[in-house]
Amino acid sequence: MARYLEDLKPGQAYESRRHTISEEAIIAFAREFDPQPFHTDPAAAKKSFFGKLIASGWHTCALTMKMLTEAEIDIAGGIIGAGMEDLRWPTPLVPGDTIHARVEILESRASKSRPEMGIVRARIQALREDGTAVQEMIANLIVPAKPA
Taking each helix axis from N to C end, the angle separating 57-69 and 23-33, rounded to the nearest 10 degrees, works out to: 110
What pLDDT does residue 143 have? 97
What pLDDT does residue 83 have? 95
Chain Cα centroid distance, residue 37: 24
Strand-pair partners of 69: none
The CA distances from residue 126 to 20, 81, 115, in Å, are 12, 17, 32
What's 3's DSSP letter? B
Residue 136's closest CA among 84, 82, 79?
84
What pLDDT does residue 1 have? 84
- Residue pair 77/144 in contact (Cβ under 8 Å)? The answer is yes
What pLDDT does residue 148 have? 78
Per DSSP, the three-state class of 109 is strand
Residue 103's closest CA among 4, 11, 15, 21?
15
Structure pTM? 0.93
Q: Which residues of the chain have pLDDT under 70?
A: none
pLDDT digits (tens, 9 = 90+) for 84-125: 999 999 999 999 999 999 999 999 999 999 989 999 999 999
Gap between the terminal Cα atoms of the chain: 18
